[in-house]
Structure 1
């Protein structure tokens, strides 16, 4: 039994996932004791629905971070997706066509990111900063520098309701469809990261690029695929925000790239590359949403919420740096 536990703890990123889970339970219980409405069924359903978008962008950012890179274009791709989708639908384009066009444009941004970072070896901060502005510019231009009209007013009440229920307001087995969409994507990408050659190569690239290259890993291809995954997840979040609002908002997804980083690092995904589990990202997204939800329930100001979450992110990254450098409890060890 003891050996089995040790074996589980040796899994890359498992310690971070467990730590996030323990923190999640503590935060949930503490806020629940302060305000028992935290434990209510409707609050928990809303919590899962709100957490879903953080989980999705966390998945995309986690894939990129495990290779030792970052994607700053996530939030802008979310906004672009919402605006392109809504703009097309308010022009009478069928829902499925609008979704596919939006997905294609998002994947093009992801492909460009992969080319710049992988093939041309541009610093990921600079490359994705550039595409961040491009994607946000498209979000502004696609409907003439204004938010779109209500989708239902053009498509009709039934079609508008169908789209909104599919991505936000509908329920399956009593739980909002938003959560089921995110959970299905989570399961698929967890399998890819943990059980496929691509997953092994992603960890290898993040651990040591030169060793991976000498081992025959196509580093450029691996990096491209992680940025495509990131773009795909961002586009889905754009659909969710579009369905939630019933229209396209040019500022949708603002700062979401940082939310993706937070969900990942809180759950133990290393921003330095080579380590992390999507299970941890799931816990990190849920912990963050629980913290945000709890602070709202007790009436904390938005500024306080941001400070608390920012401190947690910094501490999570600091712990990762200390563990990697071997400086944790170094004074105690020297004694």
Structure 2
């Protein structure tokens, strides 16, 4: 079956000009990133410095990882509003296990080893994603409504897990219960001068690219988002595909949550509030079709960097935070307008 993201454009006379036009249209996010960087480099001398570039990548890593998982969901024609809540819950569970002695069924397990606690945190993210996918597939609830509900539920569970307090608390840190250095390094450390969080984001993007490009699950995701009825006739299990897409989204959200813990050296139930909207914006800016079937994680990675560059540039230019919100909103609207125009052009529509 021909995937929506792999459809070739109809040939036309003067093919070279058409190819250049198509390259310009499809490379829109990257071109926009280059133009934005050139403008900010001229507007402020502090932008085009190596330290600032590394700072941007570190700040963009969290949004990028969330956006990569969100891409899988949006490619199926869905949307996941719970990713930030999943990140917070996974982070809270992990930090509680790393700093608080665990007693279960009368047995005292003490403070769990870091690898086990992190694995449980990642498992929580997968479980939350699977729950989202199962609810949507089993009860035929719109993705928007289902994940809006689970977003609120998961925030509440995170509040219960942490008792509404940051973890580790001041008291636990005073008693010697601190987060492992490896986790702190993942969020705030560097390797050869490159932020480790950015390296993790790149690895997640490459794995996502491989799944979408070369695995059967990736082809099924494109098929479900491109034409659900055709996918069903072709024998693709739509419910299973949706569940797998949401599980990937939950896993990447958990990874992002652990990176944020490393940056903050703590976790709380309300962390990453509003980041789900930034992740969706990064996916849209990166060129993924909100109706599914077309796009990819590389574009979402570029979209996350665009958001990071824009925020960083506005801060360097001393733009008021109030105006920053207006500018960010306008950029998203303009990108969507351009994206819709691009799709009409490439599809031959008016």
Give the TM-score normalised by structure 2: 0.86
Asked if 1:255 corresponds to 2:283, the answer is no
Whether the aligned pair in 1 keeps the contact of 2:187 and 2:261 (CA below 8 Å) is no
Superposed, which structure 2 residues align to 1:35-46 within 5 Å? 35-46=44-55
- How far residue 163 of structure 1 moved from its aligned partner, in angstroms, is 2.2
- Calculate the aligned-residue CA RMSD, in Å: 2.6
Q: Which residue of 2 aligns with 1:284?
A: 303
- How far residue 329 of structure 1 moved from its aligned partner, in angstroms, is 10
Question: In 2 relative to 1, CA 230–155 (structure 1 residues): closer, same or farther, beyond 3 Å?
Answer: farther
Q: Secondary structure at the match of 2:47?
A: helix
Question: In 2 relative to 1, CA 133–307 (structure 1 residues): closer, same or farther, beyond 3 Å?
Answer: same
Whether the aligned pair in 1 keeps the contact of 2:226 and 2:293 (CA below 8 Å) is yes
> Paired residue for 1:66, among 75, 97, 101?
75
- How far residue 8 of structure 1 moved from its aligned partner, in angstroms, is 10
Q: Secondary structure at the match of 1:38?
A: coil
Asked if 1:273 corresponds to 2:292, the answer is yes
Q: Residues 23-50 of structure 1, C-alpha deviation per residue, up to 9 Å, x if partnerless?
A: 1111111111121111111111111111
Question: Which is richer in helix?
Answer: 1
Q: Residues 69-100 of structure 1, C-alpha deviation per residue, up to 9 Å, x if partnerless?
A: 00010111111122112122121332212211
Whether the aligned pair in 2 keeps the contact of 1:106 and 1:235 (CA below 8 Å) is yes
- How far residue 299 of structure 1 moved from its aligned partner, in angstroms, is 0.7
Superposed, which structure 2 residues align to 1:164-243 within 5 Å? 164-165=184-185, 167-243=186-262
Asked if 1:161 corresponds to 2:168, the answer is no
Whether the aligned pair in 2 keeps the contact of 1:85 and 1:98 (CA below 8 Å) is yes
Q: Which residue of 2 aligns with 1:31?
A: 40
> Paired residue for 1:95, among 106, 110, 114?
114
- How far residue 194 of structure 1 moved from its aligned partner, in angstroms, is 1.3
Q: Secondary structure at the match of 2:235?
A: coil
Q: Which residue of 1 aligns with 2:103?
A: none
Q: Secondary structure at the match of 2:230?
A: helix
- The number of residues matched between the two structures is 325
Q: Distance in 2 between matches of 1:35 and 1:325?
A: 37
Q: Which residue of 1 aligns with 2:8?
A: none
List runs of 5+ in structure 2 lacking aligned partners.
Answer: 1-13, 101-110
Whether the aligned pair in 2 keeps the contact of 1:270 and 1:317 (CA below 8 Å) is no
Q: Distance in 2 between matches of 1:295 and 1:199?
A: 37
Q: Distance in 2 between matches of 1:78 and 1:140?
A: 13
Asked if 1:306 corresponds to 2:315, the answer is no
Q: Residues 193-226 of structure 1, C-alpha deviation per residue, up to 9 Å, x if partnerless?
A: 1122111111111111011101111111111111
Question: In 2 relative to 1, CA 5–290 (structure 1 residues): closer, same or farther, beyond 3 Å?
Answer: farther
Q: Distance in 2 between matches of 1:278 and 1:113?
A: 21
- How far residue 4 of structure 1 moved from its aligned partner, in angstroms, is 9.3
Q: Secondary structure at the match of 1:270?
A: coil
- How far residue 321 of structure 1 moved from its aligned partner, in angstroms, is 3.8
Question: In 2 relative to 1, CA 191–29 (structure 1 residues): closer, same or farther, beyond 3 Å?
Answer: same
List runs of 5+ in structure 1 lacking aligned partners.
Answer: none
Q: Distance in 1 between matches of 2:313 and 2:58?
A: 15
**More divergent stretch after superposition (184-193 vs 16-25):** 16-25
Give the TM-score normalised by structure 1: 0.89
Q: Which residue of 2 aligns with 1:55?
A: 64
